[in-house]
Chain A
Amino acid sequence: MESTLESVNKAEEMADQIATRAGIDEDTRSGVSMAVREGMINAILHGNAYDTNKRVNLSFEQSDRELVITISDEGKGFIPDEVPDPLAPENLLKTSGRGIFLMRAFMDEVRFRKLNPGTEITLIKRLQSS
């Protein structure tokens, strides 16, 4: 996908549709869509810095047990553990830095992998067996 805001919105819509098909309830689905939106913002804004020469890859894989979403960029990369805690009192009034926190809040598992160049974020939502 191109490194544009349209891709962020498109990815969010795709996540909602796929989560719906996976039978995820509305509240949980909203969280999954938001996590994907935040992952895409992270990739396009912070990773590729809206550079249209750099691409973002987005993939969805669904099994009986989980929905796995992977987002990768071609940016300079970052160290997740060095991102300040947005819930710390000194950071509460910061105007940015909540994206990773929100991904972790809404997904069951969030993994980061350093690419060369770039970062891959894997978002996992476990599906409740019926």
Chain B
Amino acid sequence: MSMKASTRQVDGVTIVDLSGRITLGEGSVILRDAIKDLLGKGQKKILLNLGDVSYIDSSGIGELVSAFTSVRNQGGELKLLHLTKKVHDLLQITKLYTVFDVKDDEATAIGAFSR
């Protein structure tokens, strides 16, 4: 299943709804382009909704890290929402769970962005 990304705005936060697989190739490129596009438009409060992301490989993990540092380097914030068990476990074993700000509830996640 290929990856899809769509964006919506809620209270000044851009939510990127991702679905499919973030893996080497198309999936990683779609995420990279989405983040680049948002930063280019000055949208620096980004919430990545991973609720429908079924699978991430090492390339996808690298892309998430890249997104996190790109947004942070531009003075923005990137948070993760709705991790599936598989993705949660993967971030745990790679010790990235504590690096990312991970939320389970969309309203709580939006409220957690600095104003």
Contacts and interface: CB of A to CB of B under 8 A. Distances in A.
Interface of A: 5, 8, 30, 34, 37-38, 41, 45, 86-87, 92-96, 98-99, 101-102, 105
A97 to B, nearest CB: 8
B59 interface: yes
B24 A101 contact: no
Given A45-B24, A92-B95, A98 B86 contact: no
Interface residues of B, number: 19
B65 A102 contact: no
Contacts of A93: 65, 68-69, 99
Given A30-B86, A41-B24, A98 B62 contact: yes
A8 B24 contact: yes
A5 B99 CA distance: 29
B105 to A, nearest CB: 26
Nearest to A41: B24
Given A87-B94, A98-B62, A99-B58, 14 more contacts: A5-B25, A30-B86, A34-B57, A41-B57, A41-B58, A87-B95, A93-B99, A95-B63, A96-B59, A101-B94, A102-B57, A102-B58, A102-B93, A102-B94
A87 B86 CA distance: 19
Contacts of B112: none
B61 interface: yes
Which of A38, A94, A98 has the largest number of chain B CB atoms within 10 A?
A98
A95 B25 CA distance: 15
B93 A38 contact: no
